[in-house]
A and B are shown apart, each in its own frame.
Chain A
Amino acid sequence: MVGEALLEVRGLTLRFGGITALGGVDLTIAEGETLAVIGPNGSGKTSLFNCVTGLYKPTSGAITLQGESLLGLSPDRVTARGVARTFQNLRLFLHMTVLDNLMLGRHLHFRKNLLAAALRLRGEEIRHRAKVEELIEFLDLEAWRDSRVAGCSYGVQKRVELGRALATEPRLLLLDEPVSGLTAEEKEEVSYWINEVRGRFGVTVLLVEHDLRVASRLSQRMVVLDRGLKLTEGTPEEVQRHPGVIRAYLGDQ
């Protein structure tokens, strides 16, 4: 199931003035793989995501998706290449309904025709609606379809964000702390969905996770960041045995 390299990050460096958020990180993720990035607060996990998705401009280094560089692309162009993400602190469209949030995830697949829009020709809308309905069913969101996102519970909001990212039909899905802030039961559910997503949509998943147990369970391989540097990488068992990890990561818990 694990194929050739999908995403390759080489020597990724990101500085904010005096702060080095990322200090030359290397990372490869193979097609079909699930890779977890773990590390203490401020170790650069989110910055890594932001560089890959085009929100931050790395100071130096290379990022390629299937051999093609993502550097210098605006976030929407990166998404068009097949990379979608969720955010650590949710960034949903709060005034839109759950349905519209997911429909926006289809935006890049719409054949955009202003005249058709002005004349209320809605063929495209209906075509994409069918796709979105599949996701709504998959994520058990039927009951909230027409609710405003602002009024939904945190757990539902997290699911909507996952659905919105899936709606873009990504090849690579970046999940920034997908279970943080959830109840134990919700954590179970989300872990289940992440597994399902891999099977059903065949996406490669790169996830950031604070909860080492969840991370170990979901991923085949882990990369540990500490203060912007890669400390180690390997299978969950290898990583958990690494003395540096115990010191840097588990030690402070």
Chain B
Amino acid sequence: MDLVETYGEELRFARKPLARTLLILLLVALALLPWWGPRGWLTRASLVWLFAVGVIGQNLLIGYAGQISFGQAGFLAVGAYTFGHLRIAGIPFPLALAGAGAAAGLAGWLVGFPSLRLKGPYLAIATLGFGTATYQIFANVEWLSGGRAGLAIPALQPPFGLVRDTWVYLLYYAIFLLFTGTAYNLVSSYLGRALVAVRDSDIAAESMGVSLSRTKLLAFAISSFYTGVSGALMAQYLGHLEPQAFNISESMNFFVAVIVGGLASVEGSIFGAAFVVLVPALLGGFRWAVPVLFGSAILSVLILEPLGLAGLWLKTRLYFRLWPFR
């Protein structure tokens, strides 16, 4: 029997003992991946973690707040280049990461202003414009992008005699956990409720005392902060920055991840990130098929399972909750 005695108890994360135990086991197993998984998995998994942070950010904006944005590559670039320049200037990794998030968050806040006026497809086009403009700026302003040679990011020095891949994995995993946990906390707070309210009915939200401008701008700022951090992690991962990494197809990757993973779901974002990172890897020599596969994945999600992978996951859980009394 599952009895909840206080309101506070009901607000706890992974409240049920079984869920809690399984979750902890999973998290520990993933933390130990460098010691039991094949070498090749490590870099892939690091990529999943860094992508997941960005996809969660994008999902906060699209899935929760209902504000369409196709400009993610722009925020990614702002984060990556801010991080790159800070690192080259000798700023330590954590500070540079925070700086990247802050710069992208500020950009997001500014880009959010059109959202106070524009909706749906119009907002999508405005943000697409931002993404393209950012790309053009980084592609053409040499002191920003490092010109032809690009920007070389100083490599991380692993402590405790760890192998570099292992250290990067652990670091990225920890950052991923921090941002994922924060996202879970935010979406279950008053802010998350306000975001969904704005998405479901902006008129009602406003009439119930939710400030539309503040909420939308905050959604843009937080989302871009996440995306900026993701961009910074990408910069560190690549070790070398070129504007080409931040063109429109990168925005599309994030968008695919959000839709396939499941709108308005944090775990969906993680599934989505894994999807867009791992599927191309599995295709190996057939890279040309990636866009085809992404396109068909979006179509099948929209037609078959609007809640995406998170929807499938929810159904599976429901099945087991009712099992064996199905």
Chain A residues in the interface with B (C-beta under 8 A):
53, 55, 74-76, 79-80, 84-85, 87, 91-96, 100, 103-105, 107-108, 110, 112, 114, 117-120, 122, 124-126, 129-130, 164-165, 168
Contacts and interface: CB of A to CB of B under 8 A. Distances in A.
B208 interface: yes
B201 A91 contact: yes
A110 B190 contact: yes
Contacts of A117: 185-186, 189-191
Given A93-B200, A105-B209, A107-B194, 12 more contacts: A76-B206, A76-B207, A79-B207, A91-B203, A92-B200, A104-B197, A112-B191, A118-B182, A119-B185, A120-B11, A122-B11, A122-B189
Contacts of B252: none
Nearest to A125: B11
A54 to B, nearest CB: 8
B190 A93 contact: no
B148 to A, nearest CB: 41
Interface in B145-193: 182, 185-186, 188-191, 193
Q: Determine which residue in B13, B193, B194 has the highest number of CB atoms from chain A within 10 A of its CB, and name it.
A: B193
Contact of A107 (B8, B182, B209): B209
A118 B186 contact: yes
B210 interface: yes
Contacts of B318: none
A77 B194 CA distance: 15
Given A53-B207, A79-B209, A107-B208, A129 B189 contact: no
A126 B208 contact: no
A76 B210 contact: yes
9 contacts: A76-B210, A85-B207, A91-B207, A93-B197, A96-B193, A96-B200, A104-B194, A107-B210, A117-B190
B95 to A, nearest CB: 19
A6 B211 CA distance: 24
Given A100-B193, A104-B193, A126 B200 contact: no
A76 B212 contact: yes
B45 interface: no
A36 B7 CA distance: 39
A80 B214 CA distance: 15
A118 B209 contact: no
B196 interface: yes
B202 to A, nearest CB: 10
A124 to B, nearest CB: 7
Contact of B208 (A55, A105, A118): A105
A124 B8 CA distance: 10
Nearest to B182: A118
B290 interface: no
Contacts of B185: 117-120
Interface in B246-268: 264
A126 B7 contact: yes
B176 to A, nearest CB: 16
Nearest to B13: A120
A124 B190 contact: yes
Nearest to A167: B208
A98 to B, nearest CB: 13
A95 B8 CA distance: 23
The 9 tightest CB contacts between A and B, nearest first, are: A108-B209, A117-B189, A91-B204, A93-B200, A79-B209, A75-B206, A120-B185, A129-B7, A91-B201
Interface in B193-237: 193-194, 196-197, 199-201, 203-212, 218
B113 to A, nearest CB: 16
Contacts of B190: 103, 107, 110, 112, 117, 124-125
A4 B8 CA distance: 42
Contact of B193 (A85, A92, A103, A130): A103
A110 B206 CA distance: 15
A145 to B, nearest CB: 11
B211 A76 contact: yes
Q: Determine which residue in B7, B190, B205, B207 has the highest number of CB atoms from chain A within 10 A of its CB, and name it.
A: B207
Contacts of A125: 7, 11, 189-190
A118 B190 CA distance: 11
Contacts of B204: 87, 91-93
A84 to B, nearest CB: 7
Contact of B209 (A76, A129, A130): A76
Nearest to A75: B206
Given A76-B212, A117-B186, A126-B8, A55 B193 contact: no
A125 to B, nearest CB: 6
Nearest to A132: B7
A16 B54 CA distance: 44
Contacts of B7: 125-126, 129-130
A107 B8 CA distance: 18
